[in-house]
């Protein structure tokens, strides 16, 4: 496996979403990379791949998956991994990422990022699956922290402890979703700064920035609004600990005009460049 395929700092990016295809193809966009949802392009042909090829000619691409189901006790689906490898071979991405979760069972895809217990038993399962993915893709992958609304009585370690051990045992890297950390911290009552302090900084290659909404008695990871102040504050803390790390605005719903997201990305650049953050 070639660790050199995971470069340390790739600047500031945006998720490539269909409402922005025309804009992105028509003009120069002030981003260092675009991230795409892998599953939308794991197809044999059609307009999505035409758009992706055109964007790839001008920008680096990160592949971000939502249904690898790395926590699945059934193991990973070989056909899924092969289709993802075909896409990765075509795109030559900065990296390939997916979430620490499971999404289905026995062929059923829930289209939800379902949490798993953080135990020694699930560690064995996830390590085997990460090895399977990395062996097929011939590259290390990034694992993203999910947001969660329930915890398990079987939990034996913190989420950040689980991710740390996962990196150590598999050589994978991390994608930290700062909003997800905040949402889970509020929902479960842990200190988000302890999470930031607890992850292996040298393994983090990307962060996601996003907004959330207030549900009944808990925060919901809706990714449908701008990054709020508490998440910016946590991003500043993460930047102090991690140093320069690729950052991206991740909007999945209620997609605003591209220029609104570019303005939000400029805020991220400003926080990361703030002397008070850089001096740490």
Residues that bind Fe ion (CB under 5 A): 177, 208, 250
For Fe ion, give the closer residue by CB, 39 or 250. Answer: 250
For Fe ion, give the closer residue by CB, 55 or 209. Answer: 209
Q: C-beta of 144: minimal distance to Fe ion in Å?
A: 6
Q: Any idea which residue has 């990422």 for tokens?
A: 97
Q: C-beta of 164: minimal distance to Fe ion in Å?
A: 19
140 by Cβ neighbours in 10 Å (0-12 / 13-18 / 19+) ranks as: buried
**Measured distance CA(231)–CA(163) in Å, rounded:** 21
Per DSSP, the residues of 39-95 read GGG-SSSSHHHHHHHHHHTTS-EEEE-S---TT-TT---HHHHHHHHHHHHHH--S-
For Fe ion, give the closer residue by CB, 46 or 218. Answer: 218
For Fe ion, give the closer residue by CB, 156 or 252. Answer: 252
Q: C-beta of 231: minimal distance to Fe ion in Å?
A: 12
Q: C-beta of 146: minimal distance to Fe ion in Å?
A: 8
For Fe ion, give the closer residue by CB, 122 or 147. Answer: 147
For residue 141, give the nearest of 113, 104, 170 by alpha carbon: 170
Cα–Cα distance list, 275 to 204, 230, 237, 239, 269 (Å)? 21, 19, 13, 11, 12
Q: C-beta of 212: minimal distance to Fe ion in Å?
A: 11
């Amino acid at each position: 496996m070639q660790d050199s395929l995971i470069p340390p700092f790739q600047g500031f990016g945006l998720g490539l979403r269909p409402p922005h295809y025309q804009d992105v193809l028509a003009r120069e966009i002030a981003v260092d990379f675009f991230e795409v949802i892998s599953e939308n392009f794991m197809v044999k042909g059609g307009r999505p791949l035409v758009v992706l090829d055109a964007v790839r000619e001008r920008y680096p691409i990160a592949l971000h998956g939502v249904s690898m189901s790395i926590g699945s006790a059934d193991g990973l689906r070989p056909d899924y991994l092969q289709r993802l490898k075909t896409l990765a071979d075509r795109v030559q991405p900065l990296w390939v990422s997916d979430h620490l979760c499971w999404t289905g069972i026995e062929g059923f895809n829930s289209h939800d990022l379902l949490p798993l217990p953080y135990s020694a038993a699930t560690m064995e399962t996830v390590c085997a699956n990460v090895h399977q993915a990395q062996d097929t893709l011939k590259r290390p992958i990034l694992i993203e922290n999910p947001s969660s609304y329930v915890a398990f009585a079987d939990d034996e370690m913190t989420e950040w402890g689980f991710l740390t051990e996962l990196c150590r045992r598999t050589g994978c890297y991390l994608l930290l979703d700062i909003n997800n950390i905040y949402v889970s911290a509020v929902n479960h009552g842990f200190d988000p700064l302890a999470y930031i302090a607890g992850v292996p900084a040298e393994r983090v290659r990307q962060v996601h920035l996003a907004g959330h909404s207030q549900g009944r008695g808990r925060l919901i990871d809706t990714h449908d609004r701008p990054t709020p102040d508490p998440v910016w504050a946590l991003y500043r803390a993460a930047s102090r600990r991690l140093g320069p790390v690729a950052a991206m605005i991740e909007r999945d719903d209620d997609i605003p005009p591209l220029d609104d997201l570019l303005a939000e990305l400029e805020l991220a650049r400003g926080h990361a460049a703030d002397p008070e953050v850089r001096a740490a």
